[in-house]
Structure 1
Amino acid sequence: MLHEIHVISDGRLHPEKLAELAAAVHPIVDYIHLREKAMSARELLAAAQQMLQAGVPPSKLVINDRIDVALAAGAGGVQLAWHSLPPAAARGLATGLRIGRSVHSWEEAAEAGRQGADFCLYGHVFPTACKPGQQARGLAQLAEAVRWSRIPLIALGGITPGNAGAVLTQGAAGIAVMSGICGAPDPVAAARAYREAVHRDRAAELAEALEMAQSQGTAGGEQA
């Protein structure tokens, strides 16, 4: 399984700076979420258009919450918050969009799949400044959510290059990063560090699968 990296805007950058950041990191990551809660629909559309004009592929652009803006901008996806339209209702409005759902429990992850979402963002896994005072869910609850989810589950919250491997070991299909890239002094270097961490986990996964296949082959030969 190829693990995805989602970058989520943190609401702190001017649209021009955000477009520059997105253009610089998009070759390294898989998706860029425009999550700007303080923006009006008009402002959000303008920010999305700036990102597209800066070179971000439409297929990589995900608009948070606003399915109307996602459609108007020609974005590839929409991320539905817990208070947004249910995925089934959103699917009826936009059959071509990749639909994500934000979830916080295994029950919500399971329901997102039943509702027809393409993936879910689950968090927060570790303590994070973005959610001060809120209890982190931890790796055990992440693993449980993965077991119940019929769609790819992307882990979010406090994820660093150092702990990304532990997250992916629980079965997550990828990671989502906000301040780790958007707030980094060098966003490109930060994105590369996350990509290298994800690749290390993928290499370890492949090595383990190869070792298992070889051991099974040896056992089969001995029985023969």
Structure 2
Amino acid sequence: MTQAPVDLSVYLVTDAAQCGARGRGVAETVAQAVAGGVTAVQIREKDADGRDFLRTVEAVAAVLPERVALIVNDRVDVFLAARVAGVRVSGVHIGQSDLPPAAVRELIGAQAVLGLSAATPDELRAAAGHPARVDHVGIGALHATRTKADAPPSLGHDGFARLARLSPLPAVAIGGVTPDDLPRLREAGAAGAAVVSGICAAEDPRAAARAYALAWGRVPAR
């Protein structure tokens, strides 16, 4: 048995440095963003050690309503530690250079969500045909972005649409996504948009998240 499908429409990927530059912690930024309409949250801590990463996951989980999925980026060990501690975590998102999906699925179990970054037709075909069951893919970069040092070249809307059509899995666009992009992404068949700077670096994360939610066609929960 697997858990209910995750609403990926407005998918916040956190950046501690950008949150901190605005004088907020990650958990405070997430709480405000969820109030504005964020539907899923991925905690990405590229430079944190395991204990600090786990503390951030715990703090974010404490402010999330049940309807909002909490995904851990890359660190399967942090996901497992959080689950052992009784923290509500939904799954893991991995990249092409992380642990193989089969190993991750074995570790996290059948009920957890498994997301995978993909940027080429071959990667998308492999994700769709993987026996370990990848639940959704992240396709990018839509636009040039500085929030991920190893981001692939920008695809633009046409490039994203071409790749999304190749995959039967729900596809999320990432990379410099703005609210103006969302109607075209939805028309292209995207399951949602992953946003980093547009919310984490915003002066008002709640208002920023609401702009994305409204652009997607959602009425944010109050």
User: What's the counterpart of residue 19 of structure 1?
Assistant: 27
Equivalent residue letter for 1:105: T
Q: Secondary structure at the match of 1:36?
A: coil
User: What's the counterpart of residue 77 of structure 1?
Assistant: 91
User: What's the counterpart of residue 206 of structure 1?
Assistant: none
Identity of aligned residues (%): 34
TM-score (norm 1): 0.81
Q: CA deviation at 1:25?
A: 1.9
Q: CA deviation at 1:131?
A: 5.3
Alpha carbons 1:34, 1:64 under 8 Å: kept: yes
Equivalent-residue separation in structure 2 for 1:195 and 1:47 (angstroms)? 25
Alpha carbons 1:155, 1:174 under 8 Å: kept: yes
User: What's the counterpart of residue 220 of structure 1?
Assistant: none
Equivalent-residue separation in structure 2 for 1:101 and 1:134 (angstroms)? 14
Alpha carbons 1:123, 1:137 under 8 Å: kept: yes
Q: CA deviation at 1:3?
A: 6.1
User: What's the counterpart of residue 47 of structure 1?
Assistant: 56
Equivalent residue letter for 1:42: R
Q: CA deviation at 1:145?
A: 1.3
With over 3 angstroms needed to count, the CA separation of the structure-2 counterparts of 1:79 and 1:43, relative to structure 1, is same
Alpha carbons 1:119, 1:153 under 8 Å: kept: yes
Equivalent-residue separation in structure 1 for 2:179 and 2:67 (angstroms)? 27
Q: Secondary structure at the match of 1:85?
A: coil
User: What's the counterpart of residue 222 of structure 1?
Assistant: none
Structure with greater proportional helix content: 1
Q: CA deviation at 1:43?
A: 0.9
* Structure with more relative contact order (C-alpha pairs < 8 Å, separation 6 or more): 2
User: What's the counterpart of residue 88 of structure 1?
Assistant: 102
Name the larger-Rg structure. 1
**For the aligned residues, what is the CA RMSD?**
2.3
User: What's the counterpart of residue 112 of structure 1?
Assistant: 127
Of 60-69 and 48-57, more deviation after overlay is shown by 48-57
Alpha carbons 1:101, 1:119 under 8 Å: kept: yes
Q: CA deviation at 1:80?
A: 0.5
Equivalent-residue separation in structure 1 for 2:163 and 2:198 (angstroms)? 23
User: What's the counterpart of residue 143 of structure 2?
Assistant: 126
Equivalent-residue separation in structure 1 for 2:67 and 2:76 (angstroms)? 14
Equivalent residue letter for 2:198: G
Matching of residues 44-193 of structure 1 within 5 Å: 44-57=53-66, 60-74=69-83, 75-95=89-109, 96-115=111-130, 116-130=133-147, 135-193=153-211
Equivalent residue letter for 1:197: A
Equivalent-residue separation in structure 2 for 1:156 and 1:107 (angstroms)? 19
Alpha carbons 2:117, 2:139 under 8 Å: kept: yes
TM-score (norm 2): 0.82
Consecutive unaligned residues in structure 2, runs of 5 or more = 1-6, 84-88
Q: CA deviation at 1:26?
A: 2.2
Q: Secondary structure at the match of 1:184?
A: coil
Q: Secondary structure at the match of 2:123?
A: helix
Alpha carbons 1:6, 1:32 under 8 Å: kept: yes
